C-alpha cells in the first residue's frame, strides 16, 4: 500500500498514512484531532521493478563505483603497509640485526 502525507489544517503537524490509492479516508491529526489535508510530496517510495530502468541502472552503477573506490583505497593501504615492512627489513639488513 502506498504512503500518503497529511498536514493538519490547525496545528500544521505532518503525518503519514497508509491506504489504497482509491481510498479517501477522513484523517484526523494525531496531535490535536483536527482534520488533515493530503499533501503531495516527492518520495522515494516509488520502486521500479525489472531491468532496464534508468534509476535502477544508475543505482547499481553508483554502488559499483563506490565499491571500486573502497577496494582501491584498501589496495593502496596494503601497498603502503608492504612498503613499510620492506623498508623495516632493509633497515635491519643495513644495521646487521
Quick one: three-class SS letters along 5-50?
A: EEEECCCCCEEEEECCCCCCCCCECCCCCCEEEEECCCCCCCCCCC
Residue 91 pLDDT greater than 80, yes or no: no
- Asked whether the whole model's pTM tops 0.75, one would answer no
Q: What are the pLDDT digits (tens) for 13-49?
A: 999 998 888 888 899 999 999 999 998 866 666 666 7
- DSSP per-residue codes, 69-85: HHHHHHHHHHHHHHHHH
pLDDT at 68: 86
**Would you list the domain boundaries of the chain?**
3-39, 48-97
- pLDDT at residue 42, as a whole number: 66
Amino acid at each position: 500500500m502506498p504512503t500518503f502525507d497529511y498536514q493538519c489544517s490547525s496545528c500544521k503537524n505532518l503525518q503519514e498514512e497508509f491506504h489504497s490509492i482509491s481510498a479517501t479516508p477522513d484523517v484526523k491529526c494525531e496531535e490535536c484531532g483536527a482534520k488533515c489535508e493530503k499533501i503531495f510530496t516527492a518520495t522515494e517510495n516509488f520502486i521500479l521493478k525489472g531491468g532496464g530502468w534508468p534509476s535502477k541502472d544508475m543505482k547499481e552503477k553508483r554502488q559499483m563505483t563506490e565499491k571500486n573506490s573502497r577496494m582501491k583505497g584498501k589496495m593502496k593501504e596494503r601497498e603502503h603497509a608492504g612498503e613499510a615492512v620492506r623498508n623495516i627489513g632493509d633497515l635491519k639488513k643495513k644495521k646487521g640485526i
